[in-house]
Amino acid sequence: MSLFDLNGVKQSMKHGAPMVALLAAMALASANASGEPAQKLWTLEGLHQPESVVADPASNHLYISNINGKPLELNGKGYISRVSREGKMQEQFWVTGLDAPKGMTIVGQRLYVADMQQVHIIDLQTGAVIGQLQAPDATMLNDIGAAPDGTLYVSDLLGGGLYRISDGRMARWFSSDQLPHPNGLLWHKGKLLVAGWGYPLNPDFTTGTPGSLYQMDIRTQAITALPAGYQLGNLDGVVAVKDTLYVSDWISGDLFALHGQQRVKSLSLPAGLADIGGAGDTLYAPMMLNNQVVAWKVGGSDQ
C-alpha cells in the first residue's frame, strides 16, 4: 500500500536568495562524496512498508520499523523487525502491536520508536515494550534524534514542531513558520540537524517549495539552512558518514551527499526512500513502497 498518491508528482524548485541558491545549484552526479560510485551490498525483501532503519552501535543488529497499513491508521498492525547488518532476517515480527511506527533511535539498551501520538520505549535485550510517552496534541510523530546527554528530540511532520523528551517527560518544545513540516533528525557536531519536508503541503504530499536541511542551536532554538542543503527536496532521513551528510528525498527517491558547501546526487532510487540509517561506511535505505531495505556502501569524505 502506497503512503501517498504519487500520480502527477512534480518538484517545483523555487530558489530564493541568489547566493544560497548558487551554492545549492551544484552539478549532480551518481557518486558519493569521495567520487566513488555507491556499491549495493544486499537487499532484504518481504517487509511491510519499512519506514526507518537504525543500527545498534553495541551489536550486529539492525532494527526496521514497518508501518503495515495507512500512515495515519491506528490499526495495531505495525511492527519492528530485527535483522543482521549482513541483511539476514533474525526475527521479522520482533515487536508487534504498534500502530504506524516510523523513526527510531537507540540510547543505551533502549530503542525509542515514534508512533503517531506516542513514543514507545523498548528493551533491546528482551524486545518488551517497557513504556510509552504520550503526545496527545501531535498529529504524526515521525523521527527521533538523541543528544549526547540522552535528551531526545521528536519531529511532528504534519502537526509541525519538535517535542523534547527529558527526565522521562515529553513536551512540545519548538515550532516555527520557517520549518512547518520537520522530518528527519540527527545530532551532529554539537547541533541538531532537522530535515524539512518543504511547504506548502499539497494533498499528494508534494510541496511548492522544497525542504531544506537545517542546523539548530538547542540553547537558542535558532535554525539556519545549510548552504548545500538549501531547498533540496522533500526530505526524510539524514545520517553522517565521516564528514559527509547523506539525506533522502522521499518523493523523488534521490539520495544526496552533502560535504561542506558541495552536494552531489549519490543515488537515484524509486520513490519512497524513507528514513535512512547508517553504520560505518554502510547506509541502509528503507524503500517504503517496494517493501524492502537495501544496503549500500558509501565512501563519505573526511577531507
Q: Domain for residue 297, yes or no?
A: no
pTM: 0.89
Kindly report the number of other CB atoms within 10 A of residue 302's CB atom: 11
Q: Domain for residue 169, yes or no?
A: yes
Mean of pLDDT over the chain: 89
Per-residue pLDDT tens for 244-271?
999 999 999 999 999 999 999 999 999 9
Q: Which residue in this structure is represented by grid cell 533474525?
A: 90
The answer on pLDDT for 34 being more than 70 is no
Per-residue pLDDT tens for 95-146?
999 999 999 999 999 999 999 999 999 999 999 999 999 999 999 999 999 9
pLDDT of residue 36: 64
CATH of the domain at 166: 2.120.10.30
For the chain, what percent of residues have pLDDT higher than 90? 86
The answer on pLDDT for 20 being more than 50 is no
Q: Domain for residue 119, yes or no?
A: yes
Q: Domain for residue 18, yes or no?
A: no
Q: Domain for residue 207, yes or no?
A: yes
The answer on pLDDT for 219 being more than 70 is yes
Choice between 25 and 75, residue whose per-residue pLDDT is larger? 75
Choice between 296 and 13, residue whose per-residue pLDDT is larger? 296
Kindly report the number of other CB atoms within 10 A of residue 99's CB atom: 21
Domain count, the chain: 1
Respond yes or no on whether the N-terminal peptide bond of residue 71 is cis (omega within 30° of 0): no
Q: Domain for residue 268, yes or no?
A: no
The answer on pLDDT for 31 being more than 70 is no
Enclosing domain of residue 152? 51-250
Q: Domain for residue 219, yes or no?
A: yes
pLDDT of residue 212: 98
Per-residue pLDDT tens for 151-187?
999 999 999 999 999 999 999 999 999 999 999 999 9
Q: Domain for residue 82, yes or no?
A: yes
How much helix, strand and coil, in percent to the nearest 5, is found in the chain? 5, 50, 45
pLDDT of residue 303: 54
pLDDT of residue 65: 98
Reported as half-sphere exposure (CB side, CA atoms, 13 A), residue 173 has a value of 20
The answer on pLDDT for 59 being more than 90 is yes
The answer on pLDDT for 202 being more than 90 is yes
pLDDT of residue 37: 74
C-alpha cell of 262?
558541495
Alpha-carbon span 303 to 284, nearest angstrom: 23
For the chain, what percent of residues have pLDDT higher than 70? 87
Choice between 281 and 8, residue whose per-residue pLDDT is larger? 281
pLDDT of residue 299: 80
pLDDT of residue 30: 41
Alpha-carbon span 114 to 63, nearest angstrom: 13
